[in-house]
């Protein structure tokens, strides 16, 4: 039996709250902003099928492992890895897995906050009718004006970080739990409203056919599906591990993980069902790329009946999704300061929030005053801005490595008795999970990682 630990931060009131919180962490800009456009670029229905398979074979086993590590350690990811390595009489160097996760979450939030700020600004721009009757050139001009103004980006970045700090400062039950209890149902409700609107466009079945009918697929698309399935569940960045540390021992990790993965996938699919009918109804291109949300959909909102209201609801949805993810990204570092330096929750949240805000200035300036200042690293990337560099290092290197080492630690470092005791599931389910996390998942993550760094 492992040492019995209790989290000093408290624990979730029930399993439902944990599922809402973890789903909130997983559901973010990746589901609503990224998934629709990468599905549009990579074969529609066939891509979606491969993505779903990857969720089950890669994402879910790692999620189960990460929650298991968090609950067994009952501390921040850094202290959890230190304690578990000690429990298993293994090399204390595994603590660096915790450090990498906390650092990845910190760096991701620094630029995530800036992108979330764009969505916040678009709520008010849409409400003000700025997109009514606008042309494609007009929308591009509006977006360019926003990102080229450092003061405006800084203001929205600051507002979003203050919102995030305010929730985390109130603690697990009074802050994070209350926020997700309200925000997640609202997020689902707003998404359903957009889907219902999409049904009235006359192109709903065209969108459904595109999303679920087989299409041409390439090797590159398979790798993109693998990578997105991994990243969309917020794995390898400390967030799911620290949320797992607040989960009661009486709740099933496997059942909770399956429900979280299902909810995350449903949101991604609903986003596609909401967006593609609107895209087709307005003669837009489904494979429009990253600009689909900020530079393509506003054209549709500006020309459709009731487009102002639909646009406001859509960008509000985007902000809520980003907010629930941001809360989970800052929590691992805040928990560490509380545990190791004796900081109060408020002081820890403000400290980490201000540091994140400061690093985020690099992303703010990457789109304007620093856009010509680039960095190149041989064999990795050329002429990347500060934002491009952070995005590449976190998404393509730190998160895949984090997920890989979580799988290796859970499957090869921890004793079989320890993992069986913590998961407490039926033998068949346990053996399936163990096989996947021992062999299938690590191999798939290694392939994604090598592809990301250009080695294959």
Dihedrals φ, ψ of 376, to 5°? -130, 135
What pLDDT shows up at residue 453?
64
What is the number of structural domains in the chain?
1
In a domain, 1, yes or no: no
What pLDDT digit, counting tens, does each position of 69-102 carry?
999 999 999 999 999 999 999 999 999 999 999 9
In a domain, 6, yes or no: no
Within a domain: 7: no
Whether 45 is covered by a domain: the verdict is yes
Confidence category of residue 289, pLDDT binned at 50, 70, 90: low
| The pLDDT of residue 334 is above 80 | yes
Rounded-to-integer distance, Cα 321 and Cα 305, Å: 25
Give residue 39's pLDDT.
Answer: 83
Q: Which domain holds residue 38?
A: 15-452
Measured between alpha carbons, how far is 69 from 71 in angstroms, rounded to an integer? Answer: 6
φ/ψ of 180, rounded to 5, equals -70, -30
For residue 48, tell me if it sits in a domain: yes
Q: What percent of the chain has pLDDT over 70?
A: 97
DSSP helix/strand/coil, 5? coil
Helices 204-212/178-199 angle, 10° precision: 110
pLDDT of residue 391: 85
Residue with tokens 């976190």: 394
The answer to whether the CB of 431 falls within 8 A of the CB of 425 is no
Asked if the structure places residue 5 within a domain, the reply is no
Average pLDDT of the segment spanning 21-43: 83
In a domain, 4, yes or no: no
Confidence band for 455, pLDDT divided at 50, 70 and 90: low
Taking the C-alpha atoms of residue 178 and residue 172, their distance in angstroms, rounded to an integer, is 8
| CATH code, domain with 265 | 1.20.1740
Whether residue 3 lies inside any domain: the answer is no
Beta-ladder partners of 396:
none
């Amino acid at each position: 039996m492992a040492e019995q630990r209790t989290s000093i931060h408290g624990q979730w009131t029930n399993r439902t709250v944990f599922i809402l919180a973890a789903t909130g962490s997983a559901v973010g800009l990746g589901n609503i902003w990224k998934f629709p456009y990468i599905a549009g670029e990579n074969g529609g229905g066939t891509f979606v099928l491969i993505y779903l398979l990857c969720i089950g074979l890669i994402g879910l086993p790692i999620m189960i492992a990460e929650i298991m590590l968090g609950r067994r350690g009952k501390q921040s990811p850094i202290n959890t890895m230190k304690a578990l390595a000690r429990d298993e009489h293994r090399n204390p160097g595994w603590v660096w897995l915790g450090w990498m996760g906390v650092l990845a979450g910190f760096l991701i939030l620094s630029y995530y906050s800036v992108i979330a700020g764009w969505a916040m600004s678009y709520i008010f721009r849409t409400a003000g009718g700025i997109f009514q009757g606008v042309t494609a050139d007009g929308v591009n001009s509006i977006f360019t004006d926003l990102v080229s103004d450092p003061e405006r980006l800084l203001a929205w970045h600051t507002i979003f970080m203050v919102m995030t700090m305010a929730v985390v400062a109130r603690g697990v039950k009074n802050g994070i739990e209350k926020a997700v209890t309200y925000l997640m149902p609202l997020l689902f409700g707003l998404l359903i409203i957009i889907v219902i609107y999409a049904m009235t466009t006359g192109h709903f079945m065209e969108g459904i056919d595109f999303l679920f009918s087989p299409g041409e697929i390439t090797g590159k698309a398979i790798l993109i599906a693998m990578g997105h399935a991994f990243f969309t569940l917020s794995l390898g960045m400390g967030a799911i591990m620290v949320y797992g540390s607040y989960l009661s021992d009486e709740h099933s990790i496997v059942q909770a993980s399956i429900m979280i993965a299902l909810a995350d996938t449903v949101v991604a699919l609903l986003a596609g069902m909401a967006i593609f009918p609107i895209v087709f109804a307005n003669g837009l291109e489904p494979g429009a790329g990253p600009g689909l949300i900020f530079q393509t959909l506003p054209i549709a909102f500006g020309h459709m009946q009731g487009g102002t209201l639909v646009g406001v609801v859509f960008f509000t949805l985007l902000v809520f999704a980003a907010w629930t993810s941001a809360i989970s990204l800052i929590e691992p570092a805040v928990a560490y300061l509380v545990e190791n330096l004796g900081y109060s929750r408020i002081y820890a949240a403000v400290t980490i929030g201000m540091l994140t805000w400061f690093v985020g200035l690099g992303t703010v300036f990457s789109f304007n005053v620093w856009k010509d200042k680039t960095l190149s690293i041989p064999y990795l990337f050329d002429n990347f801005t500060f934002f491009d560099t952070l995005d590449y290092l976190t998404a393509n290197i730190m998160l895949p490595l984090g997920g890989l080492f979580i799988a290796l630690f859970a499957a090869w470092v921890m004793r079989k008795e320890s993992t069986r005791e913590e998961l407490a599931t039926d033998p068949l389910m346990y053996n399936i999970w163990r096989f996947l996390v021992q062999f299938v998942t690590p191999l798939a993550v290694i392939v994604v990682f090598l592809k990301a760094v250009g080695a294959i």
